[in-house]
Amino acid sequence: MPTDARLDHQSVLAIKSLTIDAVQKANSGHPGMPMGMADAAHVLWSRFLRFDPAAPDWPDRDRFILSAGHGCMLHYALLHLYGFDLPIEQLQQFRQLHSHTPGHPERGHTVGIETTTGPLGQGLANGVGMALAEARLRAEFGPELVDHWTWVIAGDGCMMEGVTSEASSLAGHLGLDRLVVLYDSNHITIDGRTEIAFTEDVAARYRAYGWATMKVDGHDLTQVHEALTWARHEGGRPKLIVCETTIGAGSPKLAGSHKVHGAPLGPDEVVATKRNLGLDPEKFFQIPDGVLGYLRAENGDRRGLREAWEARAAAHPQGPTLRARLAPDWSQLDTTVAWPSQAVGVGLSTRKGGEKVLQALAPHVPGLLGGSADLGHSTFTEIIGGGHVQKGDFRGRNVHWGVREHAMGSICNGIAAHGGHVPLNATFLVFHDYMRPPCRLAALMGVQNVFVWTHDSIFVGEDGPTHQPIETLQAIRLIPLMVLIRPADLAETCGAWRVAVERTAGPTALALTRQNLPELQRDESVGNPRDAVARGGYVLREAGHELQVVLVGTGSEVHLCVAARDRLEADGIGVRVVSMPSCELFDRQPVGYRRDVLPPGVPRVSVEAGTTKGWERYVGDRGTSIGIDTFGASAPDKVLAVHFGFTVDNVVAQARRVLAGG
């Protein structure tokens, strides 16, 4: 792009002008960061970032992530100025209901937003995932088809968050050299100067991670340009460019103050700031003359780059394969996979069953990529023979995440948002507590991320209550748009994985057992058990007598319900067993189907090795729940089963009690 010093200056002013007025009009927002990073962002977008506003989702575009998502007016201003479909009216509705300019960037809500940011550090970790996805696709398809960069703007808050350290450490280990982070080092957080809590040498920390670093004056366009040029040519390592900036640059009274971090300038300071910058204080959402033409002049060339890529992809032998990877069709998955099976009564943990299913799926889902947070020998989530991603060789299908549960989930969100992969991340269920932020964001974004959590109950045994999840299953179920599946045997584990792969518009969690479970006998009316799992809940065994009670179980407790049914049926009591691997999928079924499975007026008993809270909506006033509302205990799993009432005797006793109206 030809340079013009005057128009460069005016372009920076345009970013500041739009930010100042949008935040002031909303009387809410964070003007300081966009005002401080306007110079560096302008250089990045005008000289280095590869994109096409007419086709914001073309596969080989560069990825830009604003990890410091509170400064989203920086991103919105840039999108508008470069001609994306974000008109000025949307900027004028900043932070208002139904506008396309929410208070933090949201993927899928605003054009040009790659990932949802705001919880600090998540965006940078997502950027690691995007860079990893690019590196692996480039290793597989070659630079003719995959040749883009990942650029991140992060702030002081991002650098303090632990997830940033986890993700950056892995990025350095892998040598993700197409990842560039611009660190807005303005030394300000909400509470004041960073020195009150944060005095480390961030650049030194990143060099220790294996990153290349450079420090620049973030307001000097020439220095920023030179640093970004260096980053493009410095191979073998990710890059951190420390941009020393002044928050709220241009504000006479508030520049450099924490007061400009998260509040509007105020009417008087808006006028003073505009005058100080050379803007007309009587004009609002002002874009200086010539700026739009200057910034959009290269859009034709940007379109040309995209069209040239499309032509290469159309002519390249692997072009159709890449297209299929980016937009997979799973309509024939169920009939093409050789789903594993075993005889009724054979014992197998669902984590080991998951391993069997994963191997069967891998040839048909080439984008499956992931692994475990240093628990591969316990979660059994390695694609056998798939190789491992390592520095200099990204062709593997497995990733050693290390003991980095939080970053693992967040990086996988970035992989999912990038496209071309079905990311998999695994650990023990109790460590969902370390992963809730990426779980919530995966659901909010609607990205396909497969969370595999094993050791899903007190039946972890001797490790004790620190490793025994109690409230965790229901905590996951509370996340909107998350689907949790807790399969009861190998057949249901096949169905769970099928849902996880076919469900491209949201995350799926699999809760799998450590202990062996018997393969269940199903009534013939069930049909394909994988279809049954996709409905969330189904009648596994029908009553042999007039229906009197329904036993509802999940996962490792379903076989208890089956055994209790057989005992009660022998006494002439009609008992139906419902397997409920996924409450969320069941709740999405038509009302008629749900009533057929759980007939109104029939007493019910739920059985799940976790909290009873939440089950009242299924068992109703006449039913009861067998569960655990305390912490677990350290003992062998069979001892714990008796202690906490997960026995056939107790299920039978509770069924008799509800039948008696007790």
- How far apart, in Å, are the Cα atoms of 662 and each of 47, 84, 628, 659? 74, 65, 20, 7
pLDDT surpassing 80 at residue 2: no
Decide whether 5-303 matches 536-659 in CATH topology. yes
Where do the domains of the chain lie?
5-303, 333-518, 536-659
- Report the alpha-carbon angle 591-596-597, nearest 5: 100
389's torsion region: left (phi>0), alpha (psi -120 to 50) or beta? Answer: beta
**Residue 1 confidence (pLDDT) above 90:** no
Which residues have a Cβ under 8 Å from the Cβ of 462 and sit 6 or more positions away? 634, 635, 636
Report residue 426 as tokens: 């695994």
Cα–Cα distance for residue pair 461/642, rounded to 1 Å: 12
In this prediction, residues 175-200 reach a mean pLDDT of 97
Q: Check: CB of residue 418 under 8 Å from CB of residue 134.
A: yes
Q: Is 310 a catalytic residue?
A: no
What's the rounded mean pLDDT across residues 482-492? Answer: 98
pLDDT of residue 656: 98
Helix, strand or coil, per DSSP, at residue 369:
strand
Q: Which two tokens stand for residue 257?
A: 């103050």
Beta bridge pairs of residue 423: 369
Which positions ≥6 away from 97 have C-beta within 8 Å? Answer: none
Statement: residue 3 has pLDDT above 90: no
| pLDDT at residue 88, rounded to an integer | 98
Report the b/e string of 335-373 with b at 16+ CB within 10 A: eebebbeeeeeeebbbbbbbbbbbbbbbeebbbbbbbbb
Specify the fold of 5-303: Rossmann fold (3.40.50)
Q: What is the pLDDT of residues 451-479, one digit of tens each?
A: 999 999 999 999 999 999 999 999 999 99
Residue 165 has pLDDT above 80, yes or no: yes
Mean pLDDT of the chain: 97
Report the predicted TM-score, pTM, of the whole model to 2 decimal places.
Answer: 0.97
The pLDDT value given to residue 249: 98
Residue 662 reports pLDDT greater than 90:
no
Q: Are the C-beta atoms of 623 and 576 separated by less than 8 Å? A: no
Task: Considering the candidates 134, 405, 492, 608, report the single residue annotated as catalytic.
Answer: 405
Both ends of the chain: CA-CA distance in Å?
79
pLDDT in tens, 206-246: 999 999 999 999 999 999 999 999 999 999 999 999 999 99
Angle 162-174/202-209 helices, nearest 10 degrees?
40
Average pLDDT over every residue of 192-214: 97
What number of H helices and E strands is found in the chain?
27, 19
Residues in the chain, overall count: 662
Which residue's entry shows tokens 């005889």?
343
When pLDDT is averaged across residues 307-331 and rounded to a whole number, the result is 97
| CATH classification code of 333-518 | 3.40.50.970
Residue pLDDT, tens place only, 141-157:
999 999 999 999 999 99
CATH for the 536-659 domain, from 3.40.50.920, 3.20.20.70, 3.30.420.10, 3.40.640.10? 3.40.50.920
Instruction: Give the phi and the psi of residue 202 in degrees, each rounded to 5.
Output: -65, -40
- The CA distance from 192 to 525, in Å, is 66
Mean pLDDT across 500-517: 97
Q: What interhelical angle do 32-43 and 5-26 show, nearest 10? A: 150
In DSSP notation, 44-68 reads IIIII----TTSTT-TTSPEEEESS
Mean pLDDT for the stretch of residues 542-559: 98
